[in-house]
């Protein structure tokens, strides 16, 4: 039979024991103590068991020592590798954009390029790599959230409108005038507004509108020193201003209860026209 390292016949067994010098040896022990010397047989069996226990403990101790040496060597190599690697200088900055060194308007390609560059430079330092990856993931998640929940950026919209070709073409037709000239035109058109509101006639503010047209011709000629341009610009500004004022009164601006009478519509249209004529007289290039 064979049981846990023991082999033999019913009357005797063989115990395999590790030996440091010659490997394993087999010692035969009687399974049944003899009648002549029972104490000696039991003593021999106790001795064999003690030797086997001591040898097993020594083998376990050597195995534990070897594992500990291997772990120490591995830790030493990792420490040497970390000590010789560059450390990311912005590792403690909380803002992910500042940590990666990019602006908040950076595209996804720019974000990925910044991450790859920093990883290639500080890839040997694990803590630096973790900080770079954390900042990259946080920015990507924020971009994904903003794409799913877009917000209206007023400053960005205004900048886009200013940079459009139509707005640039319109603004290129205007120029800044001297302060004294702006004051003169402002006073003239304010007087026309006051006269239109205080003295409306049954036929409407026809006289005030005619005076505003002549005033526009005068100020444009005084600024540009050209009669033809003054005539063309003045007539075009008057027609455009009156059409815009009529459209606003019909479609946008609600009736104002302060101005009452059969000609209130013409009066409000004239007030809007005066504003546009003042702009043309003062700033049109």
pLDDT digits 0-9 by tens, 124-154: 888 989 999 999 999 999 888 888 877 777 8
For residues 220 and 231, give the distance between their C-alpha atoms in angstroms, rounded to a whole number: 9
Average pLDDT over residues 80-108: 81
- 7 or 72, higher pLDDT: 72
For residues 170 and 52, give the distance between their C-alpha atoms in angstroms, rounded to a whole number: 103
At 259 the pLDDT is: 63
Least confidently predicted of 5-9, 93-97, 112-116, 184-188? 5-9
At 97 the pLDDT is: 92
Backbone φ and ψ of 3, nearest 5°: -140, 110
Calculate what percentage of the chain has a pLDDT beyond 90.
28
Closest alpha carbon to 78 in 126, 116, 42, 30:
126
At 162 the pLDDT is: 82
pLDDT at 187 over 70: yes
Give the pLDDT band of residue 221 (cuts 50, 70, 90). Answer: very high
- CA-angle at 247, arms to 244 and 250, nearest 5°: 150
Tokens of 67: 């594992």
- 221 or 54, higher pLDDT: 221
């Amino acid at each position: 039979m064979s049981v846990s390292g023991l082999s033999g016949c019913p009357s005797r067994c063989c115990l395999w024991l590790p030996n440091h010098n010659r490997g394993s040896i087999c010692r035969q022990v009687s399974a049944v103590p003899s009648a002549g010397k029972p104490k000696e047989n039991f003593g021999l069996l106790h001795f064999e068991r003690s030797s086997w226990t001591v040898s097993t403990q020594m083998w376990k101790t050597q195995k534990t020592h070897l594992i500990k040496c291997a772990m120490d060597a591995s830790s030493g190599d990792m420490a040497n590798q970390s000590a010789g690697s560059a450390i990311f200088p912005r590792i403690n900055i909380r803002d992910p954009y500042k940590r990666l060194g990019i602006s908040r308007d950076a595209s996804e390609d720019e974000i990925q390029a910044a991450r790859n560059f920093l990883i290639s430079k500080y890839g040997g330092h694990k803590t630096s790599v973790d900080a770079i990856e954390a900042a990259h993931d946080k920015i990507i998640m924020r971009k994904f959230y903003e794409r799913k929940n877009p917000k209206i950026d007023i400053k960005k919209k205004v900048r886009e409108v200013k940079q459009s070709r139509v707005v640039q073409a319109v603004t290129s037709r205007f120029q800044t005038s001297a302060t004294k000239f702006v004051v003169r035109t402002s006073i003239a058109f304010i007087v026309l507004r006051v006269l239109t509101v205080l003295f409306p006639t049954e036929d409407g503010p026809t006289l005030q509108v005619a005076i505003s047209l002549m005033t526009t011709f005068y100020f444009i000629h005084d600024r540009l020193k050209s009669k033809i341009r003054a005539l063309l610009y003045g007539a075009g500004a008057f027609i455009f201003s009156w059409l815009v004022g009529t459209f606003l009164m019909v479609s946008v601006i609600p009736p104002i209860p302060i101005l009452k009478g059969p000609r209130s519509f013409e009066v409000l249209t004239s007030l809007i026209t005066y504003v546009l004529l003042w702009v043309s007289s003062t700033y049109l290039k």
